[in-house]
Structure 1
Amino acid sequence: MSVTERRRGLARPSRLLAAGLVMLGAAGIALAADAAVSEGKVRALLKERLPKTAIGSVDCATIGSLCEIVAGDNLFYVDAGARYLVIGRVYDMETRQDITAARLLEMNPDMLVGAAARASSGVGAEELTGNRSAAVPVPAERPPAAGERRTLSLAALPKDGAIIWGNPAGETVTVFTDFRCGYCRALAQVLRDMKVRVVERPISVLGNRDIADRVYCAKDREAALHAVYAGETLNPAPVCNTSGLDANEAFAARNDLRGTPVIVRRDGAMLEGYRPREFLEQWLKGAKS
């Protein structure tokens, strides 16, 4: 074989690879075009079928065969033909993420987690059914009436059910959390940096209580709590008495704690929803002795 023939032989794979890359690039462009056409088609169909609903964004590329529809502060889903409208939560079973709640929090960071999970699509539902009681987003902190001070007495709660962590000598703050709640994870880091004493009381607003049971029954509850917030998966812990967690759930129901996090100061003053460090430091200084 001559040198020229060898060079031609070596060139063939490169040409084949280049041709393959061109084909992949063309396929990618075609897929992108199809997605754009699909989203445009869905938007046109929604305009026809929900003429009173102002449609914001349409995303048909993120959640399988569903298209995510944003209409104002509301979120709902339709199929690619915009025939079937889905009102509710989409949950990713692989990542164990409540996609609907996470997306609503992206849209409105002041929303209360848990209430966010229920705030799917009041607009489309009202237009289709005439039901004006459809769920709407709940702000993280409802403005109090004149002279009203939002407080929560913790006297009815037993000692059991609390996971106590942080600085034993620091200011005490009680928080109601859900281990699936991203804003609870962010709040835990803020409180850790503030070196306060945290009395954490898990409640379940985004799913079952399995994670809370594992953390509560762990040999080192504080370490287990931070491991979960860091995204680690806990092995099942030995069975323990979780009646304190039952008490947390019952207390939350009685006091209409519909989401997490809920932050309670030692004098009973209460906040619903995540707050940054600067805000919390000033808020804690306002506690009555």
Structure 2
Amino acid sequence: MKFTAKVIVPSALALGLMAAAGGGALALSKTANNKLADRLQQEFPATKISGVNCDFKVKGLCEVVAGKNVFYATADGQKVFIGEVLDLKSKTNITAARISELASMASAEAKIAGGPQQAAADQTPPPAAAAPASVIKVDLPKDNAVIHNAGAPLKLTVFADYSCHFCQQLFTDLKSHPEIEITEYPIAILGPESETKAKRVLCSSDKTAAANALYYGGEMRTAGECEAGAAKLAQNLAFARQHGIQGTPMLIRSDGATNSGWMPGDKLVAWLKGVKA
């Protein structure tokens, strides 16, 4: 399966480009959508595929929802595109708008699920080990993480996938914020390429430099993959699954408050300063 880091499709060009990729086929039926979802689930077993929509705004391209994240696939499932789709005619970011919509839906569902009517109807206490989705206390070993700007006053924990475009955008923004100490736990939910990258970072003698090489470009000095790195990655991924982290980046404040998805630098700083005692 082939990957590309970013998809930028001008609306005028999209018809010709994607018609060639999809052969001018009509939107797939519900059954065909389900078949594509099943195929992608097999390819990415660590990623829960929530839905597939091949009646998408760009002909020949299917939208794939994975939790609160979105990526794209051709109708035959032979190619996957991880990144943003931009409509240059309307000057809109189709991907960002969809992710915002998914986040709003998740927030509404959480409020409904926690509403007083349900609480009254369900008197069964929740399992003691279950943490609320909105608060996560990270107790993973720091050796499983990559530390950026060590000692900076503002503290941020991030679960990130090195094949995730929004993670790349986040760290590009954070490059201009040395006042934020970032504890980055690599996970791999976007396929084998993500796993390889994460293992190489975790096996490096200088994990920060290795991660920066992936985010900003440059030479990565690493011994390749190693058993210790694989074990750290597996532990990070198990923690993520246990706490319902299905998309990246997952941002966690020092008080455990969470934000699923990219946040602009200025808003992120304000959010970090709002830590509750």
Give TM class, smaller chain. 0.5 to 0.7
What is the match of residue 46 of structure 1?
26
Letter in 2 for 1:226: N
Write out per-residue CA displacement over residues 48-88 of structure 1, whole angstroms, 9 at most, x where no aligned residue. 989xx9955454xxxxxxx33679x996644xxxxxxx3x4
Contact 2:205–2:222 (8 Å) recurs in 1: no
SS at match of 2:176: helix
The residue aligned with 2:103 is 139
Q: Specify the alignment match of 1:90 in structure 2.
A: 79
With normalisation by structure 1, the TM-score equals 0.58
> Does the CA contact (< 8 Å) of 2:202 and 2:232 recur in 1?
no
Q: Does the CA contact (< 8 Å) of 1:176 and 1:201 recur in 2?
A: yes
Larger radius of gyration: 1
Contact 1:141–1:272 (CA under 8 A) maintained in structure 2: no
Deviation at 1:108, TM superposition (A): 2.1
* Residue 278 of structure 1: aligned partner: 266
Structure 2 runs not aligned, ≥5 long: 1-12, 31-52, 65-69, 87-92, 116-131
In the other structure, the counterpart of 2:137 is 153
Partner of 1:191: 174
Which letter maps to 1:68?
L
Q: CA deviation at 1:234?
A: 3.7
Pairs aligned (count): 204
- Does 2:202 correspond to 1:216? yes
What is the deviation of 1:205? Answer: 1.1
Cα distance, 1:110–1:215 mapped onto 2, change above 3 Å: farther
RMSD: 3.9
Using the aligned pairs only, state the percent identity.
28
d(CA) in 1 for partners of 2:185, 2:255: 17
| 1:1-289 equivalent positions in 2, closer than 5 A | 46=26, 55=55, 57-59=57-59, 67-68=60-61, 77-78=74-75, 86=76, 88=77, 90-91=79-80, 99=81, 101-103=82-84, 106-109=93-96, 138-139=102-103, 142-143=106-107, 144-145=110-111, 150-155=134-139, 157-195=140-178, 196-208=180-192, 209-232=195-218, 234=220, 237=223, 239=226, 241-242=228-229, 243-289=231-277
Q: Which runs of 5+ in 1 are unaligned?
A: 1-31, 60-66, 79-85, 92-98, 113-136
User: Is the alpha carbon distance of 1:141 and 1:234 closer, same or farther for their aligned partners in structure 2, counting shifts above 3 Å?
Assistant: farther
Deviation of the 1:141 alpha carbon: 8.1
List per-residue Cα deviations over 1:14-55 (Å, max 9, x = no partner): xxxxxxxxxxxxxxxxxx9xx59x67x966x627989xx995
